[in-house]
Structure 1
Amino acid sequence: MKILLPVAGKGTRLRPHTHTKAKSLVHVAGKTVLEHIISRLVPLGASEFLFITDENGGQVREFMSSTFPELACRYLVQKERRGPAHAVSLAAPHVGPGEDLLIVFNDTIFDADLTRIPALSADCDGLIYSKEVEDYQRFGVNVVRDGVIVDMVEKPETLISKLAQVGLYYLKDGRDFMRYLEETIRLGETVKGEYYLPAVFMRMIRDGRRFRAPEIDAWLDCGTPETLLSTNSYLLAREHHIDGEVVDSVLIPPVHVEKGAVVRGCILGPNVSIAAGSLVESSILKNSIVNGNSHVSNIVLHDSILGDSVHLIGSTRKMNIGDHSLLEMQG
């Protein structure tokens, strides 16, 4: 198996955190988004990881070399912004005959047992992983009949299916898929000038290829600050550690303090993660993420994300307040 990860997106919805780094390298629950994803893929024993990058590709390469040095990785640069299917097509020369292919987009962290792929795909040509959602109008959905996908509809206005595509695709014959992808691009089948994968899959379905739509256990969006914090909360509830130095502080679980971080005189939690190299002192934080090498002092924060090397220094106040007073300090 080869695993393809398109990581070339600009991550505009996560700005300012993606102004200086790839969106897959934003932290959540003590790890980068990419580390969460790769950790879920390692058990598959892939022969090679193919990364589609942009000008921030050097950051991804450096991260993979330091964090997963044992993995065989190849990096391909998408120089033109022509859509996700075009990004995937850049890997075509590196997918040989008979090789199966797993495509994983990096906007979301998933919970799914991928070791079941051989059993789930035994009687079909591939898997398009899905998750049932209530706000189906926001997504591309799979229409399933007798366990097999018969149609795909982008952002349906009426209820035709609630099975949203989650950006996780398995192709039993990766080379065959790439041929269909290249034909779709050659014929210019675009949506607003960009190439998308549903057009490719529908072409394959019309030619008799069969795809199933297994549901993942959890679909954790990391594409906006709000969903990143929600994902942080979900992941911390399942795994959190205090590996850093915590002095004279109250921790309300779940809280994750990485090795190399220092917390002093604070109240943290719930749902707080502090990255390595950071110092947080005399502060109260809840539902927040503090990235690496930051200094936070004398601050009350909630629902907040601090990037790398942030210095956020507040101040204490002295007050002399008489009877029956009402002070509302907005912040």
Structure 2
Amino acid sequence: MKIIVPMAGRGSRLRPHSITVPKPLIPVAGQPIVHRLVKDIAKVLKQPIEEIAFVLGDPAWFGDDVVASLETLANNLGAKASIYRQDLPLGTGHAIMCAKPSLSGPSVIAYADTLIRAEFDLDPTADSVIWTKQVNNPEAYGVVKLNDKQEIVELVEKPKDFVSDQAVIGIYYFKDVAVLKDKLQQVLDENVTNGGEYQINDGIKRMMADGKVFKTGTVSEWMDCGNKAITVETNARMLGFLKADGDEQLIASSVILDNAEIIEPCFIGENVKITDSIIGPNVSIGHNSVIDNSIVKNSLIQTHTHIKNANLDEAMIGNHVQYNGNFTKVSLGDYTVLE
């Protein structure tokens, strides 16, 4: 099995945090978004991962440190890491085709801007499985249309009339992804675009027209990381899941507490010092940070950051930040100083 991860976008909706760190590498509940996504997909697949192909953007932005992080992720899952580049933002279909040498055999394609919780078996009768989530407002999403055999027969973007309540979340399984590759090559050769971009849906629709069988794989949780508010919410939800699972050590043994209280669930990284403060619930703090005389809840704080005299709620604070003040719903990028 292979996993293909297009992640070349810069994540403009998550600025200022994505100005210095690519959005898929921003930690949520202590781990980068793309790391959590890939690991969760591997759990669902329940089979060895042979290769993980990452499609990155400009090397000036997705540099050697990003590549090293992704290679470590793949190696820890027993897989080979392949790195490809998408030089121009020409759409989801184009991004997949940038990984053309890896497009063969059974594969999952997953866009690196969401997190999931899922437990299901891939349908062996399906040529493809499109992962979906039941939603209350399907008119706001791209949804699947099903026939009486519960096979997907159409993809409908933001339907005005009810089609189904199963929203497409951007994760796909293909029994042989080479079939999709051939269809997407046709899309590129014929210059079939939507909004000036080549889309994966145009390749999928051609597979459907050839009679390929598409089924749904429904996830129980679908968490977005599109902007600051949603990312803070996703951090809280993920911490709750991880606390219930009990599989990860969320509070490092090197954390120093001095007249401080932690209200779980929280993630607190290595060598964090917390003094005269109340932390939690739903707080993530990156390694080598210091929290002094503060109350912090429902917030994300990255590494090497010093927070003092703060009362924070629904805050997202980057790396190497110096913060001393009385603000609450803040969003501070890397190397910001407020004193």
Same fold (TM over 0.5): yes
Equivalent of residue 111 in structure 1, options 84, 108, 117: 117
What amino acid sits opposite 1:26 in the alignment? I
Q: Structure 1, residues 210-265: CA drift from partner, whole Å, max 9, x if none?
A: 10012111101111111111111111112252212222112222222112211111
Task: Determine the structure 2 residue equivalent to 1:144.
Answer: 146
Distance 1:80 1:290 in 2: 32
- Say which one has the larger Rg: 1
Distance 1:127 1:66, change over 3 A: closer
1:100-249 to structure 2, matched below 5 A, reads: 100-113=106-119, 116-117=121-122, 120=123, 122-145=124-147, 146-240=149-243, 241-243=250-252, 244-249=255-260
Residue 87 of structure 2 aligns with which residue?
A: 79
Q: 1:67: Cα distance to partner? A: 5.0
CA distance in 2, matches of 1:143, 1:149: 6
Shift of 1:68: 5.0
TM-score, structure 1 as length reference: 0.89
Contact 1:3 1:103 in 2 (8 A): yes
Letter in 2 for 1:102: V
- Counterpart of 2:23 in structure 1 is 23
Shift >6 Å, 4+ stretches: none
Q: How far did residue 269 of structure 1 move?
A: 1.4
Establish whether residue 89 from structure 1 lines up as the match of residue 132 from structure 2. Answer: no
Name structure 2 gaps, 5 residues minimum: 244-249, 327-339
Q: Alignment partner of 2:188: what SS?
A: helix
The answer for the alignment partner of 1:318 in structure 2 is: none
Alignment-derived partner of residue 278 in structure 1: 289
- RMSD of equivalent CA atoms: 1.6
Aligned partners of 1:159 and 1:138: how far apart in 2? Answer: 11
Task: Tell whether the 8 Å contact from 1:57 to 1:75 is kept in structure 2 after alignment.
Answer: no
The one-letter amino acid of 1:310's match is V
Q: Is the 8 A contact 2:28 2:300 kept in 1?
A: yes
Give, as a single letter, the amino acid of the residue that structure 2 aligns with 1:86. Answer: H
- Contact kept? 2:74, 2:81, Cα under 8 Å: no
User: Separation in 1 of the partners of 2:25 and 2:146?
Assistant: 35
> Which residue of structure 1 lines up, in the alignment, with residue 331 of structure 2?
none
- Conserved? CA contact 1:57–1:77, under 8 Å: no
2:195 partner amino acid = K
Equivalent residue of 2:68, what SS?
A: helix
- Equivalent in the alignment of 2:62: 57
